[in-house]
Amino acid sequence: MSDALSVQDLSVAFHTRAGVVHALDRVSFTVGAGETLALVGESGSGKSVTAYAIMGLLEAAGQVTSGRALLGETDLLAASPASLARIRGKRVAMIFQNPRTALNPIRPVGTQIADVMRRHGGATWFNARARAIEALRAVGIPDPARRTRAYPFELSGGMCQRVMIAIAMAARPDLLIADEPTTGLDVTTQAVVMDLIAEMAAQTGMATILITHDLALAAERARRIAVMHAGHVVEVAETATLLARPMHPYSARLIAATPTAAGTLEELQSVPGALPDLRGAAIPACRYAARCDRRQADCGETLHPHEAEPGHSIACHHPLGVAA
Amino acid sequence: MRQVLLRLAAALPTLCGVVVVTFLLTRVLPGDTATYFAGPTASAEAIEQIRRELGLDLPLPEQFWRYVVALTKGDLGMSLTTGQPVRAEIATRLPASAELTLCALVLAIAIAMPLGVLAAVRQGSLIDHACRVLTTAGVSLPVFFTGLLLVYVFYFVLGWMPAPLGRLDAFATAPPQVSGFYLIDTLLAGDTGTFRAAAAQIVLPATTLALFALAPIARITRASMLAVLGSEFIRTARASGLSGPTVVITYALRNALLPVVTVLGMVFSFLLGANVLVEKVFAWPGIGSYAVEALIASDFAPVQGFVLTMAVLYVLLNLGIDLLNRAIDPRARHGA
């Protein structure tokens, strides 16, 4: 299976007044064509920064300091702003949390879809409206002809997220990055939106990167999961493998902190400690070490993510399930 | 349409208040009209006689009643200094002020909005600093100074501009009044020569005012653009690969216009009344100078007429701003 996206050694630093923040450090993962990969981690672990870096949407303070992001043959991190603008929305699209504020408040939603279609050659001035209606129907919006003229504030959050998906799907991209797409939506709408994304992906053979802090959601929707912690990818494995045999202590903690249908509230455990300070140069090699109960003397030594078994890579000196 | 009528009706109490307050204010101001008009050598009897003729000996409620009755007939009274009906004078002077102010505003917008947009898009760049310098200079240089400076440089030294002697030079004749705006009326009459003369006259005063109006417009455009450019829907637009101009103009600027339009309204109404200094420097026959001269002479009727006219203008202007906001923002249409 060929890769839709291959991210290699992506590092990002933010230049702030308080110093340089090393937000991402040698992040690597791949997404196969048509595959759903979940990026999971707590807030601040660098999931969204990874997505923005790939899309070239980092704010001015953020700088990619190393790495490649290969979309087919194209390195997105080395592409010029102009060529990147032609790729965004066309070959790789993105949807966001808070769909209502992520849409232009004073432009009819149909026009916003048509803007993207016209930009990427999917429609002309003459058929843009018809194409927008078609797109709204495809994402299951009732009465699409009338809804093209609606403004975001006239639609519910779930409807707005469908519009976002219609915008993202406008040019049939190879890859969709969904950044917390269901955060802020009610539970039934969450399921509908996720079903819709899966359906669209299945129809067009599109790969999906699902960014979420919700391991349960990732487990349900993704074929593979990459666990992120403090700007590192600490573990990548197939979903079933990761849930059954996590090898990184943080992944294990994360699984223990995720509610299940069978479990009780008392069984839930929080992950102790907080994310380390990522400013300056003196960041520990293993950024989880300070929170880890398996910490040993050599945890400060240089850490390389490696494949512990086929399709299961980790970044840990003393992984679980292996004799120490 | 119903909205517009409702808004106009809601403005009526305000206008009534303006009528009462201006009437009272002009009466409590220092200075005695009768004494002023009788002249320095007049006898006490003569002053008394003038006072009676003007109705100034009557009790205040009765004076007010007479004023209101006249007002309902559209009569704003007579100016004692010029001997002309106030309504007729305002009718000829208001277009002069409005034409000057509008020209200045258009000029200011044409410079300030692109400047503000560029300053926001290229934050911290040379153009951003240029924008800051220009806006600071614009507010800190007094208009009479910039006016005199422009006259000195472009009329006296360079001789590029005509003498600052009002709306037209002595050799040209005013066009037949249609809109009261010389620039429009001359074109309607097909008189391009007079149009050029009128345009030449208005360049310097309009530039003077525009320099002053630039600052608030450029500042609010920059601030508003910065706020919008940082918002989530701009990120969506970028993530969708929309081109730079589409993102900046169609997505960002349209959203950023709302506060700009509100400020434009304030700047316009402010300029209209406050351009008295420019009118003085350029001998521009506007209402600002008219009102100030009347005030100095304790000439009540023009002052009251001026304040009332300005109040009506403010009401109409705010209505216009609201309608413009509704045109831009669907949420405003929805809410009301």
Tell me, rounded to whole angstroms, the distance of Cα B275 from its chain centroid: 7
Question: Best interface-test mutation with A: which of B232, B236, B243 has the largest number of A CBs within 10 A?
Answer: B236
Q: Which of residues 123-182 of B touch A (CB under 8 A)?
A: none
CB contact under 8 A, B241 and A168: no
pLDDT of residue A123: 76
Residue B269, in any domain of the structure:
yes
Residues B68 and B128 occupy one common structural domain = no
The share of chain B scoring above pLDDT 70, in percent, equals 97
Is the pLDDT at A262 greater than 70? The verdict is no
Residue B77 lies in a domain: no
Q: Are A268 and A259 in contact (CB under 8 A)?
A: yes
To the nearest whole angstrom, how far is the Cα of A259 from the nearest Cα of chain B?
A: 31
Looking at residue B296, which CATH number applies to its domain? 1.10.3720.10
Contact A2, A32 (CB under 8 A): yes
What residues of A are in contact with residue B329 (Cβ under 8 Å)? Answer: 105-106
B161 or A174, higher pLDDT? A174
Q: What backbone phi and psi angles, to 5 degrees, belong to A268?
A: -70, 135
Question: What is the token pair recorded at B127?
Answer: 């153009």
Strand order from edge to edge, sheet including A74-75: A19-32, A3-16, A62-71, A74-75
The count of other CB atoms within 10 Å of the CB of residue B179 is 13
Determine what percent of chain B is predicted with pLDDT higher than 90: 11
Tens-digit pLDDT profile for residues B54-75: 777 778 888 888 888 888 887 8
* Spatial separation of the C-alpha atoms in residues B233 and B245, rounded to whole Å: 15
pLDDT value, residue A324 = 44
pLDDT in tens, A150-161: 999 999 888 999
Interface test with B, best of A115, A151, A163, A211 (most B CBs within 10 A): A115
Nearest of A111, A145, A122, A162 to residue B250 by alpha carbon: A111
Tell if the CB–CB gap between B231 and A101 is shorter than 8 Å.
Answer: yes
Give the number of beta-carbon pairs within 8 Å between A and B. 83
pLDDT digits (tens, 9 = 90+) for B252-279: 999 999 899 988 888 887 787 667 888 8
B240 touches chain A (CB under 8 A): yes
- Sequential DSSP letters for B156-225: IIS--S--S-SSS-TTS-PPPPSSS-HHHHHHHTT-HHHHHHHHHHHHHHHHHHHHHHHHHHHHHHHHHH
Q: Residue B293: inside a domain, yes or no? A: yes
Strand A3-16 versus strand A62-71 pairing type: antiparallel
Within a domain: residue B254? yes
Domains identified in chain A and CATH numbers = 3-91+171-314 (3.40.50.300)
From B331's Cα to the closest Cα of chain A, the distance in A is: 7
Residue A206 has what pLDDT?
93
CB contact (8 A) between residue A106 and residue B236: no
Give pLDDT, residue B336: 47
Q: Are residues B110 and B33 in the same domain?
A: no
Average pLDDT of the residues in B277-301: 83
Q: How far apart are CA A306 and CA B259, in angstroms?
A: 55
A57 at interface of B, judged by CB pairs closer than 8 A: yes
Mean pLDDT of B97-115: 90
Cβ atoms of A235 and A315 closer than 8 Å: yes
Chain A residues within 8 A of B232 when measuring between CB atoms: 96, 98, 101-102
Q: Which of residues 254-273 of B touch A (CB under 8 A)?
A: 254-255
Domain shared by B25 and B160, yes or no: no
Q: Please, which residues have CB within 8 angstroms of residue B279's CB and are 6 or more apart in sequence?
A: B97, B100, B205, B285, B286, B288, B289
Helix and strand element counts for chain B (H, E): 16, 0
Residues of chain A contacting B233 with CB distance shorter than 8 Å? 101-105
- Is the sign of the CA dihedral B62, B63, B66, B69 positive or negative? negative
pLDDT category of residue B203 using cuts at 50, 70 and 90: confident
Question: CB of B91 within 8 A of CB of B180?
Answer: yes
Tokens describing residue A176: 């969709």
Q: Looking at residue A1, what is its pLDDT? A: 52
A62 forms bridges with which residues in the sheet?
A: A14
* pLDDT the model gives residue A263: 67
Q: Do B232 and A105 touch (CB under 8 A)?
A: no
Residue A104 touches chain B, beta carbons under 8 Å: yes
User: pLDDT value at position B31?
Assistant: 67
Average pLDDT for A185-192: 86
Q: B-chain residues within 8 Å CB-CB of A88?
A: 238-241
CB contact under 8 A, A167 and B231: no
Nearest to B241 among A86, A102, A105 (CB): A86
pLDDT at res. B273: 65
Residue B14's pLDDT is 84
* Whether residue B68 sits in one domain with residue B105: no
Closest CA to A40 of A233, A241, A176: A233
A225 beta partners: A38, A237
- Rounded to whole angstroms, the Cα distance separating A176 from A169 reads 8
Could A105 and B255 be called an inter-chain contact, meaning their C-beta atoms sit closer than 8 Å?
yes
The yes-or-no verdict on residue B184 having pLDDT over 90 is no
* C-beta atoms of B240 and A106 within 8 A: no
Distance from CA of A61 to the nearest CA of B (A): 13
Give domain status of residue B215, yes or no: yes
The amino acid that residue A108 corresponds to is: P
Q: Which residues contact A231 (CB under 8 A, 6 or more apart)?
A: A12, A22, A23, A24, A25, A27, A45, A46, A49, A278, A287
- Judge if B136 and B220 occupy the same domain: yes
Work out how many domains chain B is built from and give that number: 2
Contact A153 B254 (CB under 8 A): no
Crossing angle between the packed helical segments B254-274 and B86-121, to the nearest 10 degrees? 140
Q: Are B120 and B246 part of one and the same domain?
A: yes
Give the Å distances, CA to CA, from B287 to B25, B104, B215.
Answer: 19, 16, 24
Using CA atoms, how far residue A267 sits from A250, A258, B312, B321, in Å, is: 17, 10, 71, 60
Domain contains B233: yes
Mutation site for A-interface testing, chosen from B122, B226, B233, B331 by largest number of A Cβ within 10 Å: B233
DSSP classification of residue B133: H
Q: Are residues B101 and B52 in the same domain?
A: no
The token pair that represents A268 in the structure block: 């839930």
Q: Is there a single domain that holds both residue B208 and residue B287?
A: yes
Report yes or no: A53 at the B interface, CB cutoff 8 Å: no
Whether B94 and B309 have beta carbons less than 8 Å apart is answered as yes
B218 and B326 together in one domain: yes
Same domain, B170 and B99: yes
Task: Kindly identify which residue of chain B lies nearest to residue A98, measuring between CA atoms.
Answer: B232
Is residue B82 one of the residues assigned to a domain?
A: no
pLDDT tens for each residue of A79-112: 888 888 889 988 999 999 888 899 999 999 999 9
Residue B25 has pLDDT above 50, yes or no: yes
Q: What is the pLDDT of residues A221-251, one digit of tens each?
A: 999 999 999 889 999 999 999 999 999 999 9
Q: Which of residues 213-232 of B touch A (CB under 8 A)?
A: 231-232
Q: What mean pLDDT comes out for the span B138-154?
A: 82
User: Residue A318: pLDDT above 80?
Assistant: yes
Amino acid at A87: I
pLDDT over threshold 50, residue A48: yes
8 Å CB contact of B255 and A86: no
What whole-number percentage of chain A has pLDDT above 70? 96
Domain that holds residue B25: 2-72
CA distance B202 to chain A (A): 38
The arrangement of strands across the sheet holding A224-229 comes to A92-95, A175-179, A207-212, A36-40, A224-229, A232-238, A312-314, A306-309
Q: Which residues of B touch A105 (CB under 8 A)?
A: 233, 255, 329-331
Same domain, B140 and B177: yes
> Residue A151 is nearest to which of B232, B246, B330, comparing CB atoms?
B330
Residues B27 and B159 in one domain: no
Has residue B81 been placed in a domain? no
Query: CA-nearest residue of chain A to B257?
Result: A106
Residue B305 predicted with pLDDT over 90: no
The pLDDT-based confidence of A261 (bands split at 50, 70, 90) is: low
pLDDT tens for each residue of B6-24: 878 888 888 888 888 888 8
Counting Cα atoms < 13 Å in the Cβ hemisphere of B158 gives 9
Domain boundary among B42, B72, B102: B72
